[in-house]
Amino acid sequence: MEKWQEELKKEKLPRHVAIIMDGNGRWAQKKGLSRNKGHRQGVETLKKVVRTCGEMGISFLTVFAFSTENWDRPRNEVLFLMDLFHRTFKKEARELIANRVRVVFIGYRSGLSRDLQETMNNIEKDTRSCDGIQLNIALNYGGRQEIMEAARALVDRGDRDFSQEEFSGNLFSAPCPDVDLLIRPGGEMRLSNFLLWQSAYAELYFTPVLWPDFSETDLYQAVQDFQKRQRRFGGVGGE
Ligand code: IPE
Ligand code: IPE
Ligand code: MG
């Protein structure tokens, strides 16, 4: 076991980790490859990260796979990504069940092809009773849209006097707890419309490492950094 693995405090683990998987295109371009090769390599990183988060004892992992704004990319990249998602979900289903990973999709399914939707529904159904880590995959997801949907649902029900908890209960991510640690590899320091409501008090961790190069060590370092932070939630601190 590496030194930093031993140094993680089990009692101070983030319950919910969120990751903006960014930098696939630049990783590929730097190597003279097509952007799509970067996306393919990004899948390999995700598999490693899910396994490591599970081993660490993290309960919820939410990853940003495709934003509502990513439709603005060139058509061939969008088509490649949709096909990659479809193939990956089909290929990995058995392994996910074997590792007791419960998969939940958040985002707008209606914009996706019927085949992809069916594969997503099947994975959710087949992993429903898995009692390991919960992997939320944000696909065709937008944070603002999610907030507006929740507001609309409550107002449609005639409910105008709702609490923050009730509001949270109407988000795509419900009943998942708020984000504790939000990691963005790839060098950009922005949220890009990811989990806006759920990250209100998240600790943010940015690293220039591009997602396909993001290693177990990078993940441990992010969690170690989280464990050194003092979360105050508006108070004055002191544990
Ligand atoms: C993230 O990598 C993957 C998706 C948005 C689907 P990018 O494709 O954004 O990679 P860069 O940021 O262009 O390097
Ligand atoms: C955010 O990355 C979306 C995903 C990782 C799926 P982007 O690459 O789309 O974000 P911007 O465009 O740099 O803000
Ligand atoms: Mg990007």
Give residue-wise pLDDT tens across range 40-60.
999 999 999 999 999 999 999
Q: CB-based contacts of 113: which residues, under 8 Å, 6+ apart?
A: 82, 86
Domain range list for the chain? 13-197+216-221
Task: Report how far Cα 45 is from the mean position of its chain's Cα atoms.
Answer: 13
d(CA 167, ligand 2 centre) in Å: 26
Question: Is 70 considered catalytic here?
Answer: yes
d(CA 218, ligand 1 centre) in Å: 18
Q: Which amino acid is at 113?
A: S
Q: CB-based contacts of 26: which residues, under 8 Å, 6+ apart?
A: 38, 186, 210
CB 30: neighbour CB atoms within 10 A? Answer: 12
Nearest to 212 by CA among 40, 41, 28: 41
Q: CB-based contacts of 34: which residues, under 8 Å, 6+ apart?
A: 28
pLDDT at 5 over 80: no
Residue 18 Cβ < 6 Å to ligand 2: no
| Mean pLDDT calculated for residue range 160-171 | 94
For residue 118, name the pLDDT band (cuts at 50, 70, 90).
Answer: very high
Considering the four listed CATH numbers 1.20.1250.20, 3.40.1180.10, 3.40.50.300, 3.40.50.2000, the one that applies to the domain covering 13-197+216-221 is 3.40.1180.10
Give residue-wise pLDDT tens across range 72-95.
999 999 999 999 999 999 999 999
Show the tokens assigned to 95: 């392994």
State the Cα–Cα distance between residues 207 and 222, nearest whole angstrom: 9
Ligand at shortest distance from the CA of 141: 2
pLDDT of amino acid 83: 98
Give residue-wise pLDDT tens across range 130-151.
999 999 999 999 999 999 999 9
Residues 7, 19 contacting (CB under 8 angstroms):
no
pLDDT of amino acid 216: 97
Mean pLDDT of the chain: 96
Give residue-wise pLDDT tens across range 19-45.
999 999 999 999 999 999 999 999 999
**Token match 């600790």: residue?**
203
Q: What atom of ligand 1 comes closest to residue 67's alpha carbon?
A: 5
Q: What atom of ligand 2 comes closest to residue 138's alpha carbon?
A: 6
Residue 65 Cβ < 6 Å to ligand 2: yes
Residues 103, 135 contacting (CB under 8 angstroms):
yes
DSSP letter assigned to residue 129: T
For residue 239, name the pLDDT band (cuts at 50, 70, 90).
Answer: low
Q: Which amino acid is at 239?
A: E
